[in-house]
């Protein structure tokens, strides 16, 4: 090229900085095709490109340089042998013919056409037709590798654009003629000028045989007063039934915020009722600009007068160590009031415990630990019968320090009892991911894109040979923070990571992975979906009081192009269904978000650090409180006829639809109206 034709022995490589266009006027057979950089478009016309190399006939972006291949039909690409590919590939009105196509983790495949092969998905992102509307047909099996092995896999995702009510014209669809393993995340991208309404339904998947369930349904762009209910496609039916039903719901809303100016931007925030009156208060850690001792500053809640919240009053700073970073609430003496504080001092290599006398007055205790302490987790790691909160600290020196709480009636006492080598620990949390009643350590790897579980045994002491259960995140995620949430109602905590570099979040189900020695009970594989640009912070809570955890993410919004706080609402029944909602705080760069009920109205509010003059030149840090203004909607899943009660008429309606896939009657989201739905009605019997 450009003066000749490659032949069956040719390995054709494109390495370019400018877009390249290749127009085929003959059927061509080559050994292999490589695109290592740049964007290359093949205009096939009615012609075919045959690949003859075994297994490596096509390699796109092998060096992660952002290379992309676009194939335009109506011709096709064929391969004599199974093909394994990665990178960013788009098929526009084109076909692919081979026995097996394996999509490597991180592959982005946009496909408007037919893949005449089995598709094995090891953690890719498949988009029918890319950013346009179209149909992707797999003439073979679709195998999701997400949950098929104990560890080491990523969950792939299927992303559908919905811009209207006409299949393949205004919303995407897929058809799979073979067996479908639907253990992939589903992304629903609502957009354009389309305004969906309650009772809209969409058939996005036609299958002939199916097993598995999506671990996550994620909506972006759906109006915040609507939610969607998911039902697995019914195999063998023409059209497969409608998988998506739109329903009404109440949006999660916050006010514009009330700010308290600060002299120095804090490093972290903690929320608790420190003085026992007027509701929850706030504490922040602040560094000394001159590299001296830092401070903890407490803001006590002034309560409400005449239904109007009166804000906070700043207290005298409490001197701590050099460069205080993470701060958490702890119950030092097991008195049932979690109103004490623990924080790390990075350059002092200490942990400071602030014991509260119940009025907001604190006594200081310092414990020396491993160097470079950064992140804290509080739980009863050492089961010595006292039931006291212990402390685990992730340190910059590649260690985790465990500090036992030995406080008694004699006085406050803590001891550094063990250190465990951990490469590049970042955020750390306590959690019981295997439901064995012992607290585990969940540690986010700072540079290795993993979430590690060290299963606790109640001693707090670990030898160097202890096994880790690693759950990988997508390569290059840049995960900054991890949080636990009750997402699917199984009473086992699930993990959510915030991935700054890729603009995504990853959800890992608790209690489904292999755990240590493959005995079960670890975290599941990561389902990763796009949320926006550079997400950094997350706060988990039930912000609409519907019984499940929602979360708030600090992210650069697509519409505002400014950092803001984005609501992610949880609408799960059995399958996890999450939807991005309204955003707020744009223009003031909100970060370090935490939650608490500051005006004592029964709804969780938010507190964040903002910049009142975000001009990039100066900084005006402030503590801003966003009060929750959500109108709580009473959930009544068994009230089929919407008369305000679950009664005989609802049961009769269910019986009339017995055995069908009617999503309005499939109350448990199993895909079929059956006994499980009757149990939902019985459990909810009576007035809503």
Q: Starting at the edge strand that comes first in sequence, how are the strands of the sheet with 340-345 ordered?
A: 324-330, 340-345, 350-356, 362-368
Q: Which residues of the chain have pLDDT under 50?
A: 147-150, 237-239, 516-520
Residue ranges matching CATH 1.10.1330 in the chain: 645-687
- Residue from 601, 588, 608 nearest 628 by CA: 601
Is the preceding peptide bond at 510 cis, omega within 30 degrees of 0? no
In this structure, are residues 483 and 540 in contact, taking their beta carbons and an 8 Å threshold? yes
Report how far residue 532's alpha carbon sits from residue 553's, in angstroms, rounded to the nearest whole number.
Answer: 10
In this structure, are residues 487 and 548 in contact, taking their beta carbons and an 8 Å threshold? yes
Question: 24 is written with which tokens?
Answer: 């085929």
pLDDT of residue 517: 43
Rg (CA), the chain: 27
pLDDT of residue 241: 67
pLDDT of residue 491: 76
Report how far residue 349's alpha carbon sits from residue 585's, in angstroms, rounded to the nearest whole number.
Answer: 35
pLDDT of residue 465: 53
Is the preceding peptide bond at 2 cis, omega within 30 degrees of 0? yes
Question: 533 is written with which tokens?
Answer: 């640009």
- Residue from 175, 184, 218, 223 nearest 200 by CA: 223
According to CATH, the topology of domain 645-687 is Type 1 dockerin domain (1.10.1330)
Q: What is the largest distance, in Å, between two alpha-carbon atoms of the chain? A: 90
Compute the C-alpha angle 335/341/343, nearest 5°.
Answer: 145
Alpha helices, DSSP H only, in 337-442?
none
The predicted-structure confidence for 380-393, as pLDDT tens digits, reads as follows 999 888 889 999 99
Residue ranges matching CATH 2.130.10.10 in the chain: 266-421
Backbone dihedral angles phi then psi of residue 648, each to the nearest 5 degrees = -60, -40
- Residue from 656, 654, 661 nearest 675 by CA: 654
Report how far residue 308's alpha carbon sits from residue 110's, in angstroms, rounded to the nearest whole number.
Answer: 52
In this structure, are residues 282 and 269 in contact, taking their beta carbons and an 8 Å threshold? yes
Report how far residue 668's alpha carbon sits from residue 677's, in angstroms, rounded to the nearest whole number.
Answer: 6
- Residue from 296, 382, 372, 383 nearest 340 by CA: 296
| 256, 299, 302, 310 from 306: Cα distances, Å | 20, 21, 13, 10
According to CATH, the topology of domain 266-421 is Methylamine Dehydrogenase; Chain H (2.130.10)
In this structure, are residues 284 and 599 in contact, taking their beta carbons and an 8 Å threshold? no
Question: 537 is written with which tokens?
Answer: 């912070």
pLDDT of residue 148: 45
The secondary element (H helix, E strand) that includes residue 187 is strand 185-190
pTM: 0.88
Rounded to the nearest angstrom, the gap between the alpha carbon of residue 32 and the centroid of all alpha carbons in its chain is: 37
Backbone dihedral angles phi then psi of residue 315, each to the nearest 5 degrees = -100, 170
Report how far residue 565's alpha carbon sits from residue 583's, in angstroms, rounded to the nearest whole number.
Answer: 5
The predicted-structure confidence for 172-211, as pLDDT tens digits, reads as follows 999 999 999 999 999 999 987 899 999 999 999 999 999 8
Q: In the block, which residue shows the tokens 């199984």?
A: 490
A 10 A CB-CB count for 54 gives 13
């Amino acid at each position: 090229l450009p003066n000749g034709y490659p032949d069956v022995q040719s390995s054709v490589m494109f390495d370019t900085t400018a877009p390249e266009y290749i127009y085929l006027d003959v059927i061509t057979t080559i050994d292999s095709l490589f695109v290592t950089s740049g964007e290359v478009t093949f205009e096939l016309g009615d012609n075919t490109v045959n690949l003859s190399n075994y297994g490596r006939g096509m390699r796109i972006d092998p060096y992660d340089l952002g290379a992309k291949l676009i194939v335009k039909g109506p011709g096709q690409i064929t391969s004599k042998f199974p093909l394994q590919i990665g990178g960013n590939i788009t098929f526009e009105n084109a076909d692919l013919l081979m026995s097996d196509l394996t999509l490597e983790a991180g592959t982005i495949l946009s496909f408007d056409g037919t893949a005449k092969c089995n598709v094995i998905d090891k953690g890719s992102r498949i988009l029918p037709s890319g950013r346009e509307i179209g149909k992707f047909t797999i003439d073979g099996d679709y195998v999701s590798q997400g949950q098929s092995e104990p560890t080491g896999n990523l969950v792939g995702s299927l992303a559908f654009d919905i811009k209207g009510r006409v299949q393949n014209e205004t919303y995407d669809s897929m058809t799979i003629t073979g067996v479908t393993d639907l253990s992939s995340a589903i992304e629903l991208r609502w957009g354009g000028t389309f305004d969906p309404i309650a009772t809209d339904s969409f058939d996005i998947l036609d299958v002939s045989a199916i097993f598995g369930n999506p671990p996550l349904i994620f909506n972006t762009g759906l109006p915040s007063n609507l939610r969607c209910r998911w039902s697995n496609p019914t195999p063998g039916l023409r059209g497969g039934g409608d998988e998506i039903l739109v329903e009404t719901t109440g949006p999660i809303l916050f006010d514009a915020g009330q700010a308290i100016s600060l002299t120095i931007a804090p490093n972290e925030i903690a929320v608790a009722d420190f003085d026992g009156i007027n509701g929850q208060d706030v504490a922040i850690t602040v560094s000394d600009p001159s590299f001296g001792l830092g401070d903890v500053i407490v803001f006590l809640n002034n309560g409400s007068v005449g239904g109007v919240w009166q804000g906070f009053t700043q207290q005298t700073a409490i001197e701590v160590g050099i460069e205080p970073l993470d701060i958490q609430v702890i119950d030092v003496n097991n008195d049932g009031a979690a109103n004490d504080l623990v924080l790390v001092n990075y350059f002092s290599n200490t942990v400071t415990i602030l014991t509260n006398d119940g009025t907001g007055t604190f006594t200081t205790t310092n414990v020396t630990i491993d160097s470079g302490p950064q992140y804290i987790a509080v739980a009863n790691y050492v089961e010595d019968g006292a039931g006291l909160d212990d402390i685990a600290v992730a340190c910059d020196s590649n260690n985790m320090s465990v500090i036992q709480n030995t406080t008694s009636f004699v006085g406050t006492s803590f001891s550094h009892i063990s250190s465990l080598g951990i490469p590049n620990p970042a955020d750390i949390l306590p959690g019981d991911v295997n439901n064995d009643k012992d607290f585990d350590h969940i540690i986010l790897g700072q540079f290795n894109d993993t979430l590690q579980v060290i299963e606790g045994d109640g001693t707090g002491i670990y030898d160097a040979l202890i096994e880790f259960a690693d759950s990988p995140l997508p390569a290059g995620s840049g995960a900054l923070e991890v949080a636990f949430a009750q997402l699917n109602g199984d009473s086992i905590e699930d993990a959510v990571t915030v991935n700054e570099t890729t603009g995504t979040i990853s959800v890992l189900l608790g209690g489904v992975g292999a755990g240590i020695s493959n005995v079960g009970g670890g975290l599941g594989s990561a389902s990763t979906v796009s949320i926006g640009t550079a997400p950094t912070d997350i706060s988990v809570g039930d912000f609409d009081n519907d019984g499940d955890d929602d979360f708030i993410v600090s992210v650069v919004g697509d519409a505002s192009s400014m950092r803001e706080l984005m609501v992610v609402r949880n609408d799960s029944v059995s399958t996890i269904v999450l939807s991005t909602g309204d955003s707020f705080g744009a223009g003031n760069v909100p970060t370090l978000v935490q939650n608490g009920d500051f005006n004592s109205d029964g709804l969780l509010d938010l507190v964040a650090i903002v910049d009142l003059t975000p001009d990039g030149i100066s900084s005006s840090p402030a503590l801003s409180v966003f009060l929750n203004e959500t109108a709580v909607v009473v959930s009544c899943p068994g009230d089929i006829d919407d008369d305000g009660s679950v009664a005989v008429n609802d049961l009769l309606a269910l019986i009339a639809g017995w055995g069908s896939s009617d999503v309005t009657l499939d109350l448990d989201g199993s895909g079929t109206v059956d006994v499980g739905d009757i149990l939902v009605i019985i459990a909810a019997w009576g007035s809503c």
